[in-house]
Amino acid sequence: MQLLIKGGNLVNTEKLTIEKADVLINDGVITAISEQLPINGAEVIEAADKLVCPGLIDMHVHLREPGFEAKETIATGTRAAAMGGFTAVACMPNTNPIVDNAAVVRSILELVRAEGVVKVYPIAAITKGSKGAEITEMGDLKEAGAIALSDDGQPVSDSGVMRRGMQYAHMLGLPVISHSEDKSLAAEGAMHEGYYSTVLGLKGIPAAAEEVMVARDILLAENTGCRLHLAHISTAGSVELVRQAKRRGVKVTCEVTPHHFTLTDADVVGYNTATKVNPPLRTAADVAAVKEGLADGTIDVIATDHAPHTAEEKAVEYQYAPFGLVGLETAVGLVFTELVAPGVLTAAQAIAKLSCMPAAVLAVPGGKLAVGERADITIIDPERKEKVDPTGFASKSKNSPFVGRVLKGLPVVTMVNGKIVMKDRRLTI
């Protein structure tokens, strides 16, 4: 079957340019890119004034299956990804059971084949049970299909264990993704430690709880040669530590979430538990530093940390609510509203941080539009507006702090291997 994407503005994530061209797809593969391609019986997708992008990749998602299917499943999570314009996601291992052995990796991939709508790359645990004591059989995990290692949700507190984990990961060519949190400093806090935690009477989490672990893991990466990726950094200090490490040539990359460049700790006023995330929402100065880090290239990737929870779990007092919010279906709108429209990033720079950069960190296919590539494509309408309404989310959970916010710049087509799975803001599967 032939598809022709007609008259769109193609985003080149290598040159960071945008040029008008048509894209011809035959049996799931891009077979031609040029101006004014003939239709020749192909099904036409009109894309005038829209951005035709490499398929977006979210490298930090919690699909919750196996074990927490009341929150999300592979079926619902991948549908939420499709609605959000993502053609692939990487799923974190803090399921039940933890993804710490080859059998669980294989079972996830089998579920993806049966029920998935977009591509899914499993991330396996660094330590058995993510308990931080004994490293996993990483070779078996890689052979089964794991593409990275992380104890996300839990830090590896023992520096010796983390060092050994990095040494083995380095030998296997796998990146380690760090959840940077010193539990003794976080001390069961519920929000950022500062003015608003005092006003609201909530126990705070200092910026240092993140920064000391960012510093430690950068030093361990420097020591071991391991590729280190820092998940969801949120403070000005973390951004500066990464900036300095990159200048020294350390193999470190990092990501930031849309909620950490959009919201501040002031948004916790009102005790909306949808604002309770880990790391917590930080200050306006931290948000400014994060945006500066995005603009100067210190921050490589934008990832959602999509963390669904049931309504019942979140309908409790703030300090007792679980950390996390859903982000797959609002990410692109927030990127365009908060970063592209104000000029923090160009559209091409933003798309690169959502496509080719995560592909490079994870060493997975995708991230560019070229003849011969699989047709994983996202089309974005930069002028389309939509009010956030979680009742229409494809995700099983609705814990979003952006309810009622109007976002401008939305995905209108998601195509995986040449198959359209979302069109005009509706799932087609």
CA–CA distance from 237 to each of 157, 171, 183, 277, 298 (Å)? 20, 30, 18, 19, 12
- Give CA–CA dist 74/36, Å, rounded: 39
How crowded is residue 115: how many other Cβ atoms within 10 Å of its Cβ?
Answer: 16
How crowded is residue 28: how many other Cβ atoms within 10 Å of its Cβ?
Answer: 15
- Whether the CB-CB separation of 30 and 24 falls below 8 Å is answered with yes
Q: Is 389 known to be catalytic?
A: no
At 404, list the tokens.
């009622």
Q: Which of 100, 151, 265, 305 is catalytic?
A: 305
Bridge partner list, 43:
3
For Cα atoms 82, 415, 393, give the angle at the middle one, nearest 5 degrees. Answer: 15
- Give CA–CA dist 271/302, Å, rounded: 26
Closest CA to 145 of 95, 204, 88, 104: 104
- Whether the CB-CB separation of 288 and 240 falls below 8 Å is answered with no
List, by residue number, the catalytic residues: 305
